[in-house]
Structures are given as C-alpha cells and as structure tokens.
Amino acid sequence: MNFSLTPNLEQFVRDRAATGDYNNASEVVREALRLLKRCEEQRALKLERLRSSVRAGDDAIANGDFVDVNSDEELDALFAGF
C-alpha cells in the first residue's frame, strides 16, 4: 500500500521516528492508525449510546412519562433536588 502525506505530516512522522520512541516511520504510521481506529470505535459507541438514550426518551414520552416545564422557575424547581 502506498500513500502520500503532506510535507508537514511527513516531517511530523520523521520527527516522531527520530525521537527513538519508534524504530521507523512505519511504526509511527501504524500507531497513528491504531489511535484513529480506537477514536472511531469510541465515536461509534458514543453515537450508539446517544441513539439509545433518544429512543428511551421517545419511549418515555410515548408512555406519558414526562413533565411539562413552562417557565424558568419550573425548570429551576425541577432541578433543585439534584
């Protein structure tokens, strides 16, 4: 597999490899891809949790399990117990 990097990214990879933390540029790129993969997995998990919460909220509303709040005072009173 071949790919191109911008000059700034190429220099970054070279600099990271030169620190001695990595044996070569390939290790730097592999680590970057592992981190990207982990980030994407976490993003997907957060998105699924958000969707699940929205579904739960929709279900609660459909079942009549909600409170109408008509003013800032009512909202303050609702959250005063927390």
pLDDT by 10s per residue, the chain, length 82: 898 999 999 999 999 999 999 999 999 999 999 999 999 999 999 999 999 999 999 999 999 999 899 999 999 999 997 7
Q: For residues 32 and 11, what is the distance between their CA atoms, to the nearest angstrom? A: 14
Q: Provide the b/e sequence for 34-61 (b: ≥16 CB within 10 Å).
A: eeeeeeeeeeeeeeeeeeeeeeeeeeee
What local confidence, expressed as pLDDT, does residue 53 receive? 98
Per-residue pLDDT at 81:
76
- Count Cβ atoms below 10 Å from residue 13 Cβ, excluding itself: 19
CA distance 49 to 56: 10
